[in-house]
């Protein structure tokens, strides 16, 4: 079959519009291509329209003209319109997603460049470029694109192919295609349901939702988002792949471990497998049953991690141990005791139990709020990433995804905000008693958990015992050194409320009286001031030979971490011109990593010292400063 690409369809339309002979050059100017290109296109178009008994006439010295009958040939006109519509509606990105989906879902079959060129009405070169993109995309999942004389198909382990399909669904979901009308009784949001419909039929989606609902009733547990979406997705993928004869590969070690699984959850998985057989006539092997089980266990069912669990070779005694450790480290970073926050403890524990299962089973989840968390809570997210890096060094566990860490960050952000909300406050007013009472009333309304200890005038402020006061809200500037105070309007405007929250959050995060001597010792001789990275041979070598993870606490303060380096080393680059500080921490030691990350963060919290470093003109001055100074982060108005 002869296929026209978009340019050739446009060329054909232009010829149909003409009633007289036109030179090739006339069309090249309109299409912005060379005469040679259109001469080739002309042969292809001539062959294409010959199927409709239409010819292209050529007249020396005059040019070309399509037979007059062409404008009345409905079949030709409709065919050109359909082709052009298909091309205009499918972008390069959409085409690549469709080709990738076809390859993954039909991994037993081969396709060819010619077939895809005909299907999408594009050149063979375009399809070759699509394959290059797809090949690179598949690399992350250990799946390869096999190209033989028989055609092109994908090759890889079944588990890796299923992970690829799950990631493809995430990419489709990110497209926010909400064109479908979804059933009222689904628990899925419209974007997720629409994305699933790109691959699965609606009856299968509803069926899987139904059996999961029955599973929840039997286990007396309601699974929350996004675990619900993750579970639905992987059971649907399992159904589709098994239905096409693709089974998870046998793994004896995993099959043996079934003896140690949660019996109640496992029995219900067997019931679920029976329902799948009744509906589809598809038998699920022990490997497939284990596959479904691990996704359910990783969604919070059973909370099976109260006994020792091996993650990457080192045992975590229990989920409480992991929870307590991250709270301890975050408390050190924030210089705030979070250990007594019961809501934080319980919330984290409920998340960490299934999270450790996901680490054990190498299961990934997606946080749909990740971008928003990065934007609004970037500093807390950065601290959680640093804390997880420290814990990963201690437990020697695999990298925990940013999606998982961003969920942990929300618990700590909430805990930090709770420390802001429970405050004992003194109100200071310059004007009359009535105004001060109005301010106190509005403060109680804006911050209901606050205790307004007293309302006083400025001249009586020194007579008040302020030992049990957390901070002062005042309508005027006051001369006080030992307490934070915030100046607001007597009417407490919305901007005042926002300012109070921001200041208290900043003050909760910032540390006080911190010794940076150790940091100065570590980076002595390893500070590079205003040097281009390409000229720092050692740093260039490090970047090329280490898998560095970047953690940005702000747009000017960055930390790069490598956990598999030997010996331990800390390198600092300072760019005064662009106001940028970067630390490169290479280590394989838990204590070294923890001590240096804490010191780096303590430096970050002292804005005035960071500004001093960015103004230094000699590396020696920076070294001496870090070696000899103690950061004192008193509140700066």
Residue 304's pLDDT is what? 46
| End position of a domain, from candidates 86, 102, 119 | 86
Q: How confident is the model at residue 302 (pLDDT cuts 50, 70, 90)?
A: low
> Looking at the structure, do residues 521 and 604 belong to the same domain, yes or no?
yes
Contact in structure between 472 and 483 (CB atoms under 8 Å): yes
Q: What is the mean pLDDT of residues 440-450?
A: 86
Residue with tokens 């100065």: 520
Q: What is the mean pLDDT of residues 558-568?
A: 82
Q: How far apart are CA 180 and CA 145, in angstroms?
A: 32
> Looking at the structure, do residues 242 and 271 belong to the same domain, yes or no?
yes
What's the length of the chain? 637
The pLDDT tens digits of the residues spanning 176-190 come to 555 556 677 788 888
62 or 119: whose pLDDT is higher? 62
Residue 180's pLDDT is what? 55
Largest CA distance in the chain: 107
| End position of a domain, from candidates 86, 116, 140 | 86
The pLDDT tens digits of the residues spanning 233-264 come to 999 999 989 888 888 876 544 544 555 678 88
| End position of a domain, from candidates 42, 62, 86 | 86
Q: How confident is the model at residue 409 (pLDDT cuts 50, 70, 90)?
A: very high
Residue 610 lies in a domain: yes
Percent of the chain with pLDDT over 70: 84
The pLDDT tens digits of the residues spanning 148-171 come to 988 999 999 999 999 999 999 888
> Looking at the structure, do residues 148 and 219 belong to the same domain, yes or no?
no
> Looking at the structure, do residues 211 and 284 belong to the same domain, yes or no?
yes
> Looking at the structure, do residues 607 and 538 belong to the same domain, yes or no?
yes
Residue 213's pLDDT is what? 93
Residue 593 lies in a domain: yes
Q: Please give the structure tokens belonging to residue 264.
A: 């109640």
The pLDDT tens digits of the residues spanning 23-37 come to 998 888 887 777 888
Cβ-based burial of 86 (10 A; exposed 0-12, middle 13-18, buried ≥19): middle
Q: How confident is the model at residue 444 (pLDDT cuts 50, 70, 90)?
A: confident
Contact in structure between 524 and 619 (CB atoms under 8 Å): no
Residue 507's pLDDT is what? 65
Radius of gyration, alpha carbons of the chain: 33
DSSP 459: G
Residue 162 lies in a domain: no
For the chain, the domain total comes to 6
Residue 617 lies in a domain: yes
Residue 255's pLDDT is what? 46
Residue 636 lies in a domain: no
Q: What is the mean pLDDT of residues 11-18?
A: 85
The pLDDT tens digits of the residues spanning 316-374 come to 557 888 999 999 999 999 888 899 899 999 989 888 888 888 888 888 888 888 999 99
Residue 632's pLDDT is what? 46
Of 396-410, 480-494, 570-584, the poorest mean pLDDT is in 480-494
Of 147-156, 550-559, 560-569, the poorest mean pLDDT is in 560-569
> Looking at the structure, do residues 68 and 125 belong to the same domain, yes or no?
no
Residue 48 lies in a domain: yes
- What are the Cα distances from residue 135, in Å, to 144, 164, 272, 561? 7, 12, 36, 29
- HSE-CB at 347 with a 13 A cutoff on CA atoms is 16
- For residue 133, the domain's CATH number is 1.10.10.10
> Looking at the structure, do residues 276 and 200 belong to the same domain, yes or no?
yes
Q: How far apart are CA 224 and CA 367, in angstroms?
A: 12
370 or 420: whose pLDDT is higher? 370
> Looking at the structure, do residues 327 and 393 belong to the same domain, yes or no?
yes
Residue 64's pLDDT is what? 92
- HSE-CB at 262 with a 13 A cutoff on CA atoms is 20
Q: What is the mean pLDDT of residues 292-313?
A: 64
Cα-to-chain-centroid distance, residue 349:
22
Q: How confident is the model at residue 631 (pLDDT cuts 50, 70, 90)?
A: very low
> Looking at the structure, do residues 224 and 288 belong to the same domain, yes or no?
yes
> Looking at the structure, do residues 293 and 179 belong to the same domain, yes or no?
yes
Q: Give residue 124's domain range.
A: 90-156
- Does the pTM surpass 0.75? The reply is no
> Looking at the structure, do residues 482 and 520 belong to the same domain, yes or no?
no
Residue 114 lies in a domain: yes
- For residue 430, the domain's CATH number is 3.40.50.2300
Q: What is the mean pLDDT of residues 573-591?
A: 89
Q: How far apart are CA 426 and CA 461, in angstroms?
A: 9
User: What is the rounded average pLDDT for all residues in the chain?
Assistant: 82
**Torsion angle defined by CA atoms of residues 621, 627, 632 and 633, in that order, rounded to the nearest 10 degrees:** 70
396 or 142: whose pLDDT is higher? 142
Residue 613 lies in a domain: yes
Contact in structure between 416 and 508 (CB atoms under 8 Å): yes
């Amino acid at each position: 079959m002869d296929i026209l690409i978009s340019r050739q369809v446009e060329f054909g339309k232009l010829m149909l519009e003409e009633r007289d002979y036109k030179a090739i050059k006339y069309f090249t100017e309109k299409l912005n291509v060379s005469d040679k290109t259109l001469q080739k296109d002309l042969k292809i178009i001539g062959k294409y329209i010959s199927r409709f008994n239409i010819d292209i006439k050529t007249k020396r010295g005059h040019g070309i003209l399509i037979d007059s009958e062409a404008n009345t040939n409905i079949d030709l006109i409709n065919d050109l319109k359909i082709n052009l519509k298909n091309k205009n509606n499918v972008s390069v990105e959409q085409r690549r997603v469709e080709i990738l989906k076809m390859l993954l879902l039909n991994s037993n079959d081969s396709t060819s460049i010619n077939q895809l060129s005909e299907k999408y009405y594009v050149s063979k070169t375009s399809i070759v470029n699509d394959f290059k993109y797809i090949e690179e995309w598949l690399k992350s999942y250990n799946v390869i694109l096999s190209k033989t004389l028989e055609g092109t198909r994908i090759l890889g382990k079944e588990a890796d192919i299923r992970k690829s399909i799950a990631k493809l669904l995430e990419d489709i979901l990110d497209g926010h295609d909400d064109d479908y009308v979804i059933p009222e009784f689904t628990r899925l949001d419209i974007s997720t349901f629409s994305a699933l419909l790109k691959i699965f039929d609606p009856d299968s989606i509803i069926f899987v939702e139904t059996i999961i609902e029955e599973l929840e009733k039997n286990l007396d547990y309601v699974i929350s988002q996004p675990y619900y979406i993750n579970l639905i997705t992987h059971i649907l993928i399992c159904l589709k792949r098994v239905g096409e004869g693709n089974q998870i590969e046998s793994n004896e070690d995993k099959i043996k471990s079934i003896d140690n699984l949660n019996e109640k959850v496992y029995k219900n998985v067997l019931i679920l497998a029976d329902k799948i057989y009744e509906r589809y006539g598809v038998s699920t092997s022990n490997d497939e049953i284990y596959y479904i089980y691990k996704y359910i266990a990783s969604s919070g069912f059973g909370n099976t991690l109260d006994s020792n669990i091996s993650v990457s070779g080192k045992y975590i005694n229990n989920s409480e141990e992991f929870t307590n450790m991250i709270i301890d480290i975050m408390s050190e970073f924030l210089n705030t005791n979070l250990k007594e926050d019961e809501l934080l403890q319980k919330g984290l524990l409920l998340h960490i139990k299934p999270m450790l299962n996901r680490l054990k089973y190498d299961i990934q989840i997606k946080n749909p709020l990740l971008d928003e968390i990065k934007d609004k809570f970037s500093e807390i997210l950065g601290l959680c990433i640093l804390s997880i890096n420290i814990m990963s060094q201690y437990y020697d566990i695999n990298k925990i995804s940013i999606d998982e860490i961003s969920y942990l960050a929300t618990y700590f952000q909430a805990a930090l905000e709770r420390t802001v909300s429970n405050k004992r406050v003194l109100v200071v007013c310059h004007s009359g008693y009535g105004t001060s009472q109005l301010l106190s009333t509005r403060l109680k309304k804006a911050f209901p958990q606050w205790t307004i200890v007293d309302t006083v005038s400025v001249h009586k402020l020194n007579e008040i015992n302020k030992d049990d006061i957390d901070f002062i809200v005042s309508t005027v500037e006051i001369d006080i050194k030992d307490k934070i105070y915030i100046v607001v309007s007597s009417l407490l405007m919305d901007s005042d409320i926002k300012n109070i929250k921001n200041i208290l959050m900043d003050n909760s995060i910032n540390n006080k009286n911190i010794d940076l001597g150790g940091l100065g010792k570590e980076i002595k001789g390893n500070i590079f001031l205003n040097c281009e990275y390409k000229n720092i041979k050692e740093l260039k070598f490090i970047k090329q030979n280490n898998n560095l993870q970047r953690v940005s606490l702000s747009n000017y303060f960055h930390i790069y971490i490598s956990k598999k380096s030997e010996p331990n080393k800390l390198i600092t680059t300072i760019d005064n011109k662009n106001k940028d500080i970067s630390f490169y921490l290479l280590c394989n030691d838990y204590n070294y990593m923890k001590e240096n990350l804490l010191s780096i963060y303590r430096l970050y919290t002292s804005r005035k010292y960071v500004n001093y470093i960015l103004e230094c003109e000699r590396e020696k001055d920076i070294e001496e400063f870090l070696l000899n100074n103690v950061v004192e982060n008193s509140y700066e108005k």
